[in-house]
Amino acid sequence: MRMGLLQLNSVSKIFDTITAVDRISFALAEGEFLSLLGPSGSGKTTTLQMIAGLTHPSSGEILLAGRPIGPLPPYKRDIGMVFQNYALFPHLTVARNIAFPLEMRRMRRAEIARRVAAVLKLVDLSGFEGRYPQQLSGGQQQRVALARAIVFEPKLLLMDEPLGALDKKLREQMQLEIKHLHKRLGVSIVYVTHDQDEALVMSDRIGVFNQGRLEQIGTVEELYEQPTTRFVAEFVGETNVIRGEVRDGANGCCILETAEGPLRGRARQAVTTGSAALISVRPERLRLAAGQPARSDGDGIQGHICEVIYMGRLRKYVLDTAGGQKLIVARQVAGVEANSFAVGDAVVATFQPEDAVVLQDAHEHGDK
């Protein structure tokens, strides 16, 4: 494996009886933006804390630039960290907060002042030197926390759900700002979030966490188009999952026998005939046509529209299928919709086999 900036080898963290982090391994290249994405309690923050040195791994090792950093205490690791609640020192001004890491490194006063001013300009807070954290808005505090974490030019920056406390508009604005900062500084970032839209916007790669395990790591496109587990398919973006039995599984193209009839999809791993499996189709990859009594050729699911949700850019249809489950179809609203349906219409939802992914039906990932 290529030696990147950061490497985790089979790192675990066990608290009494709870395994918070279960044999996580991944590598981070220089300048890369990696998001750790997952629901609350899935182990992402604990992983971050182990990288920072605030918690000790129960097993496994962490390498920074090829060297194990296990024995190094947090104050010697030279890693920047932005905390969820910002952790700004309330008794220090903005300037002193930002100057703090430089003072710890015994930099000269003039140099400190210069750097603080420069980084304040970078985060667009020039003039705020004398204010105290309590006097700032949430967004401003967030930027001070960021400034403080990068002023000493670390190679690696850790961010623990830094935008969680901000409202939607501000969050979206900050996401772009962070992304631009990343490009500008060339620093490697490990970013923890539970918001998949956020991860999609900002990251080069995403690692999806579930109950302490790293289920899949890859680019946004890889995760979206080729999820390897049901959890990833459902967590990153929206999808429809249909249960079935493998009827024919030869070189990547698979036929599943389902309650909706036979459906085809791509399988990344080998599947054995007769085994239980799932097929995952994204809502926007489904097309709707007026229903016909006879089964149409190809992969189609019959049903009735039970709900229509207008969302501006998209129109979502919720279908009651013939096989007894709910299907979500999303169509773009493009001008005068020639092809829009109403509640009660009988329809067939069709998709291309390349747009569907076949996944193992492992029972731990079963019902969510």
Binding site for another protein (CB under 8 A): 49, 52-56, 73-81, 83-85, 87, 89-91, 100-101, 104-105, 132, 148-149, 152, 158
Closest separation between CB of residue 125 and another protein, Å?
A: 18
Closest separation between CB of residue 18 and another protein, Å?
A: 17
Closest separation between CB of residue 12 and another protein, Å?
A: 15
- Give the integer Cα–Cα distance in Å for 101 and 78: 10
- Give the integer Cα–Cα distance in Å for 319 and 330: 11
Q: Is 31 exposed, middle or buried (0-12, 13-18, 19+ CB in 10 A)?
A: middle
Closest separation between CB of residue 62 and another protein, Å?
A: 13
Nearer to another protein, 53 or 207 (CB): 53
Closest separation between CB of residue 304 and another protein, Å?
A: 45
Helix (H) or strand (E) run with residue 253 in it: strand 253-258
Nearer to another protein, 132 or 346 (CB): 132
**Who's near 37: CB < 8 A, 6+ residues apart?**
44, 193, 194, 196, 199, 206, 207, 208, 209, 235, 236
Nearer to another protein, 84 or 325 (CB): 84
Nearer to another protein, 12 or 55 (CB): 55
Three-state SS string across 6-67, please? EEEEEEEEEECCEEEEEEEEEEECCCCEEEEECCCCCCHHHHHHHHHCCCCCCEEEEEECCE
Nearer to another protein, 53 or 237 (CB): 53
